[in-house]
Amino acid sequence: MIMSNKKYVIGNWKALPNTPAEAEQILDFLSGHVTGETAASIVVCPPFVYLEDVAKILNTTSLNSFIELGAQDIALSDEPSQTGEVTGEQLARLGVRYVIIGHSDRRWKLAESEEIVNQKLKRALQHELTPIVCIGERVRDDQFEQFLKQQMAGTFAGLSSEELRMCLIAYEPVWAISTTPGARPDSPDETRKALAVLRPLAPESLLLYGGSVNRSNADDFLAIPEISGILVGGASVRKEEFVEIIKQAA
């Protein structure tokens, strides 16, 4: 983990871009427009198929000094009988340092249970990968605080306080994610209320916000004192916009 007072800007590319050439273009653009001195702590999380290419580009360019590599998921275990999965050992060997755990795409679209999320989290820690753990309610109703507490309890069950401290926790309300129909970003004031629910349950973890972060609102979220960074989806593959967001965090 980058230990600095810089804010994190983490790009979750999800299932984009469609070609390795486009992935390379995003990184080229970053190397031309962002420098180590002005940058936030930047992490990019490409789809598995591009991890090796992105790792090579990072390792052979100046990007290496200020961008780190993340994956979007991890296998439950290191056993070979997991068709379609990628193990923590394989990720670590590629130079991956971070892994997104429990993204709502996986929790809700792929029915990933709390137990599975919890096991993946433990696997990431075992491989010394920094987990970026997504937490967030589907609906902002009068039960949402209770929902967050329960999700936190299940997700982090059995972790020591030292392990919990190693996790980045991304508050990502599902209704705010740009691909959710009718999505709108949370308001910074409401985000602070949600963070106040998470904070006592993870007193030393860094907290991030994610959900429709874009060039127009990134600085509003980055200005929240309790927030150590942002997890950006759609805007992280729009290279000009991603650079603008990074500059707001620098």
172 is catalytic: yes
Q: Which is nearer to ligand 13P, 5 or 111 (CB)?
A: 111
Q: Which is nearer to ligand 13P, 44 or 235 (CB)?
A: 235
Helix, strand, coil abundance in the chain, percent, nearest 5:
45, 15, 40
241 is catalytic: no
For residue 82, give both structure tokens: 């997991």
Inter-residue contact 106 to 73 (CB < 8 Å): yes
Three-state DSSP at 45 gives: strand
Residues numbered 155 to 184 that lie near ligand 13P (CB under 6 A) are 172, 177-178
Q: Which is nearer to ligand 13P, 59 or 179 (CB)?
A: 179
Residues 58-97 as x/- pattern, contact with ligand 13P by CB under 6 A: ----------------------------------------
Number of chain positions touching ligand 13P (CB under 6 A):
14
Three-state DSSP at 207 gives: strand
Inter-residue contact 228 to 220 (CB < 8 Å): no
Cα-based distances in Å from 139 to 145, 182, 211:
11, 12, 13
Residues numbered 203 to 222 that lie near ligand 13P (CB under 6 A) are 210-213
Instruction: State the residues that interact with ligand 13P by CB under 6 A.
Output: 12, 103, 172, 177-178, 210-213, 231-235
